[in-house]
Amino acid sequence: MKTIKTDFNSKGVRCDGDLFLPEGVKQPPVVIMAHGLAAQKNFGLMPYVERFVKKNIAVLLFDYRTFGKSDGTPRQVVDPSCHIEDLKAAIAHVRTMNELDSSRIALWGTSLGGGHVIATAADDKDISAVIAQVPYISGISSMKLKSLSDILKSTVYGCYDTFRSALGLSPHYSPVIAHPGTFASMNSAESYDGYMSLVGDDSIWENKLASRSFMKMAFYNPAGKAKKVKAPVLIFAAKNDSLIPVDDTIKLAGKIRKSELVVMDSSHFGTYSGDNFIKYIDSHIDFLARHLLRLML
């Protein structure tokens, strides 16, 4: 495949992007991939990219503002509203690229990004297809799997950092991941090892997010926009998900008029590699082929 460096601006801030093109294919359809909480564009997504490109589908990966190689300060702020602005800017960007067929755009999101692609598709009726893998449902849904202690700490730290932000002060940071018993945004039994398996060795990533992020995520409710999505949506739920209640994911699928649901025998982080990746990747590819490649058949 051919890789093109292709940055774009979101609200005047540069987002770092990479476009992967299938060789010898004129104006292929494209999948724009949106990653999860505090993640960088390269975390565990290349196996998906390689399989999609082999099926003659282009892929755009990008870093949200304040993360990875993208610009923006203060760093490491998880703000769903800003993330969705970045995703919409990525869509607008690919629609200007002569290398692509802008009439065939799919959105693929995982975890927090899974919520973003649903919320974005609700606003953009020209999206051809959506895949949401273990998607973020709402702040209330995520709290169901949190301890009372963690909820209280995230509220205190979140309010404190929001106050600091209002005064123009530097952020108060909290860990993204930790082992059980240690406070972090994600500290379930699978969280630390699962997340770090995606980070890998060659990374500029730091295990921190601005604590104001807790307040922004608490009021984020992509499921509330599900009924407005017109595009076909493939949703992956995980039976053993320790971060997203599987029953809530199943309910989300029921709100979308053109939804397909796959309930995986997996944990939240268990689908990016190994046997589970092999087991479920064909479902991704079949769905994209039906909705992106139908005009080429």
Write the CATH number of the domain with boundaries 2-143+221-296. 3.40.50.1820
Using one digit for the tens of pLDDT, what is the confidence trace for 154-165? 999 999 999 999
Residue 121: what residue type? A
Strand partners, 61: 18, 33
| Local structure of residue 293 (DSSP, 8 states) | S
Distance from C-alpha of 47 to C-alpha of 30, rounded to nearest angstrom: 16
> Could you state, in order of their start, the residue ranges of all structural domains in the chain?
2-143+221-296
Mean local confidence (pLDDT), 60-83: 98
How confident is the model at residue 294, as a pLDDT? 66
24: left (phi over 0), alpha (psi -120 to 50) or beta: left
Distance from C-alpha of 117 to C-alpha of 35, rounded to nearest angstrom: 10
Using one digit for the tens of pLDDT, what is the confidence trace for 111-160? 999 999 999 999 999 999 999 999 999 999 999 999 999 999 999 999 99
